[in-house]
């Protein structure tokens, strides 16, 4: 549902801000579903597309130069950011601020430095800059939202979950581009949204949104569902497995 909402918001903003240009984007994601099995250790996604003349404009070719920004956004999650302060001589987490529905993954791939592609105002308005994400969510708790938001983005960047790659989009020809994003082994599960922006002269000429999902399959999915839907049975199963393993170890290694 959240993903749908994000999609709707993206489409609405598109309607408001994107001028009807003479270009249109045709884009493809290499995998619609990234399956996680027991041997999953990250995957590289390729997004590619072509810039074509808009059918309504009657043009037969497009004229550049173009810039492309691809924003890959993971499923929303609630996160808490904590700050340690000294209290009674010891360092403890005293201030904490919860950010509701913040993207669990946010990578911006671009064909150039973002500041060379468009103005900060436009990038902020479109929600392209990672550091503007915390400002877009509801907060709860004690602590200054501005400071905690900046720190949250820094921590997520250090963890490799947020980032900007100004060399992430390559032009194979004047109109054909490709972008690669490495999904880490600890990639959040759920629905992802890839927004592709086509910039021309610092303005958005066109925009496309593509969805893909990361989900567990087979045994991994079975375990995850059991833990969520039958927590009592799952808990007892864990204890039985533990006691059996312990006992078996005792029998096997009898000396």
Partner 1 sequence: MCHYPARFAVRVDTDRKARLFVAKINSGAKAFTALQIYLPIAEISVNLFFLMGMGGAVGFLSGLFGVGGGFLLTPLLIFTGIPAPVAVASVTGQVTAASTSGAWSYWRRAGIDLHLALYLVLAGILGAFGGVMAFSALRAVGQLDLVISISYLVFLGLVGTLMLNEAVRSLLKRRAGVISRDKLPGKHNWIHGLPMRVRFKRSNLYVSVLPVLAIGAAIGFLGALLGIGGGFILVPALIYLLRVPGNVVIGTSLVQVLAIMAASTVLHAVNSQSVDILLAFCLMVGGVIGAQFGASAGQYLRGDQLRALLGLLVLLVAIRFAFSLLVTPEDPFSTAILGIGEDVQ
Site residues (CB under 8 A) for partner 1, limited to 96-155: 96-98, 104, 113-115, 120, 129-131, 140-142, 148, 150-155
Interacting residues with partner 1 between 169 and 228 (CB under 8 A): 185-189, 216, 220-221, 223-224, 227-228
Q: Distance (Å, rounded) from C-alpha 170 to C-alpha 110? A: 8
Choosing from 42, 64, 65, 202, the residue that interacts with partner 1 (CB under 8 A) is 42
**Structure tokens that stand for 5 in this block:** 């909402």
Region near partner 1 per CB under 8 A, out of 44-52, 168-176, 205-213, 231-239: 231-239
Member of 84, 144, 172, 176 binding partner 1 (CB under 8 A): 84
Closest approach, Cβ 51 to partner 1, in A, equals 26
Q: Is 14 in the site for partner 1 (CB under 8 A)?
A: no
Cα–Cα dist 61/41, whole Å: 42
Question: What's the closest the beta carbon of residue 235 comes to partner 1, in angstroms?
Answer: 3
How many C-beta atoms surround the C-beta of residue 156 within 10 A? Answer: 22
Closest to partner 1 by CB, 64 or 184: 184
In angstroms, rounded to a whole number, what is the distance separating the alpha carbons of residues 98 and 135? Answer: 12
For residue 117, the minimal CB distance to partner 1 (Å) is: 12
The distance of closest approach from Cβ of residue 42 to partner 1 in the complex, given in angstroms and rounded to an integer, is 7
Residues 53-82 that bind partner 1 (CB under 8 A): 77-82
**One residue of 1, 16, 33, 88 binding partner 1 per CB under 8 A:** 88
The CA distances from residue 79 to 93, 108, 132, 179, in Å, are 15, 20, 16, 28
Query: Could you give the 3-state DSSP secondary structure of residue 122?
Result: helix
Give 52 or 220: the residue with its C-beta nearer to partner 1.
220
Strand 169-171 versus strand 33-36 pairing type:
unpaired
Kindly tell me which of 26 and 227 has the beta carbon lying closer to partner 1.
227
């Amino acid at each position: 549902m959240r993903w749908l909402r994000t999609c709707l918001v993206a489409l609405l903003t598109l309607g408001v801000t994107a001028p009807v240009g003479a270009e249109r984007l045709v884009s493809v994601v290499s995998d619609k579903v990234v399956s996680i099995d027991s041997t999953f250790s990250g995957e590289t996604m390729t997004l590619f597309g072509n810039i074509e003349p808009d059918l309504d404009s009657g043009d037969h070719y497009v004229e550049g130069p173009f810039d492309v920004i691809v924003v890959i956004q993971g499923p929303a999650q609630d996160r808490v950011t904590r700050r340690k302060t000294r209290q009674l001589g010891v360092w403890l987490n005293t201030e904490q601020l919860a950010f509701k529905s913040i993207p669990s993954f946010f990578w911006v791939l671009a064909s150039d430095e973002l500041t060379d592609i468009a103005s900060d105002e436009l990038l902020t308005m479109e929600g392209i800059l990672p550091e503007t994400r915390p400002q877009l969510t509801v907060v709860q708790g004690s602590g200054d939202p501005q400071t905690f938001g900046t720190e949250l983005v820094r921590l997520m960047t250090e963890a490799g979950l947020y980032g900007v790659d100004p060399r992430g989009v390559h032009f194979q020809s004047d109109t054909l581009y490709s972008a690669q994003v490495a999904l880490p082994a600890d990639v959040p599960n759920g629905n992802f949204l890839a927004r592709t922006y086509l910039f021309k002269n610092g303005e958005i000429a066109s925009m496309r949104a593509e969805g893909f999902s990361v989900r567990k399959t087979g045994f991994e999915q079975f375990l995850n569902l059991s833990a969520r839907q039958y927590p009592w049975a799952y808990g007892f199963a864990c204890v039985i497995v533990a006691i059996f393993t312990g006992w078996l170890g005792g029998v096997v290694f009898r000396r």
